[in-house]
Amino acid sequence: MKTKCLKISLIAFLGLCSCGQSKEEKAQQMAAEYLKGTLYHFDSYEPLQIKVDSSFISLSCDNEAIELTLDMLKLFQSAEEYARKVERAESSMEIFTPNGFSSTYRRVEYKRAKNERDENKRLFDKTKDRIQTQFEKIKARQSAINDGAFNGWKVYHKFKSLNGARTLDLFGEYIFFCDKDFNVESAYTKEDFDAISKFIEAISESADLPELGEKLEEVIF
């Protein structure tokens, strides 16, 4: 009987210890577990700052919206690269435009540049369509989510650790989104998250892609 009572008391004591852990302590434990798999030398990991805020459902904090936005950013980068290639090809076409005295080399170079222009223009147009589709998906997500409801925790964490060669301290900043029990649902570097947040805010305030372009110019410049 005494043994049984002792076991019950021990379980109750452990439960009290667990309940006594602060939000910051839980967040720190969560961050350390996550960073074990990302840092070059976790043994050199040193936490510097942890901040826990309540997270409420919104487009800028929605994991699905963030992932859609990341894909959209990649598409923008691809479209920009295709546009540059089109411009370079058109410059070459101007240089090698055939005339009555054109050499075979000049005609071949013009044809090569034209083919390159046409192919990259095709890829640009295709990517532009995909950007439009992605924009529509994010706007649909904006309409679907129920803004304002508590959905867990947003954790800011600053730390330092050694680089791969163990010669230099690297400072890192992460944003974590966790459920109510501090299980990680998504994690981003602060730099990436800040860029994503500005982009999502611009999307949320735009009715179409031209308006989005105008808002992004305001954000960037």
Q: How far is CA 140 from the centre of its chain?
A: 19
The answer, yes or no, to whether residue 135 has pLDDT greater than 90, is yes
Res. 17 pLDDT band, cuts 50 70 90:
very low
Percentage with pLDDT > 90 across the chain: 76
Task: Give the pLDDT mean for 205-211.
Answer: 93
- Residue in the block written with tokens 């309409």: 143
The answer, yes or no, to whether residue 41 has pLDDT greater than 90, is yes
Burial class (CB in 10 A: 0-12, 13-18, 19+), 130: middle
Res. 200 pLDDT band, cuts 50 70 90:
very high
Amino acid symbol at 197:
S
The answer, yes or no, to whether residue 211 has pLDDT greater than 70, is yes
Q: Which tops the pLDDT comparison, 38 or 217?
A: 38
Q: How far is CA 168 from CA 36, 75, 163, 173, in A?
A: 18, 35, 6, 16
Q: Which tops the pLDDT comparison, 100 or 186?
A: 186
Lowest mean pLDDT of 42-46, 147-151, 169-173, 187-191, name the range: 147-151
The answer, yes or no, to whether residue 51 has pLDDT greater than 90, is yes
Domain boundaries, the chain: 24-61+153-220, 63-144
Q: Distance between CA atoms of 41 and 178, rounded to whole angstroms?
A: 24
From the list 31, 51, 53, the residue with the least C-alpha distance to 42 is 31
- The answer to pTM > 0.85 is no
Q: Distance between CA atoms of 109 and 122, rounded to whole angstroms?
A: 20
Q: How far is CA 17 from the centre of its chain?
A: 36
Task: Give the pLDDT mean for 160-170.
Answer: 93
